[in-house]
Amino acid sequence: MKIRTFSSKGFTLVEIMIVVAIISLLAAIAIPNFVKARETSQQNACLSNLRQLDGAAQTWALENNKTSSDTYTLSILKPYLKLDSLGNLPVCPAKGTYSPGVVVSNPPTCTIPGHVLP
């Protein structure tokens, strides 16, 4: 008479727990880096938009013989900006809002701290 032994080819509970612990450790390391990378890219995009707004203000002033103390609004700058497909001005990807520099010599600003032209 043959004795049957069952050999199951699966993972033990300890092996599964080790794999889950390793994946959790990797996630704990990776998630803060992803958050930081997203914030950095949003800040860089915002600074690029601020440079575009400042360049548009300088171009407007140069073409219209304005001085550095003349005032402007964002609507005046529309012809000098790259607008989105709906014709809207650039927006801050971090949900901030832009305000013009009021006078040509002042750069535009964003409401998010740290999003400032150097």
pLDDT grade, residue 112 (50/70/90)? very high
Both tokens of residue 30?
A: 């990776």
Check residues 64 and 10 and name the one with the higher pLDDT.
Answer: 64
Q: What pTM value is reported for the model?
A: 0.76
Q: Is the pLDDT of residue 37 over 90?
A: yes
The stretch 68-91 carries a mean pLDDT of 88
Check residues 22 and 68 and name the one with the higher pLDDT.
Answer: 22
Q: Which of 102, 100, 72, 77 is nearest to 88 (CA)?
A: 77
Long-range contacts, 44-47 (Cβ 8 Å, 24+) = 45/92, 45/93, 46/92, 46/93, 46/94, 46/96, 46/110, 46/112, 46/115, 47/115, 47/117
Q: What's the length of the chain? A: 118
pLDDT at 7 (0 to 100): 65
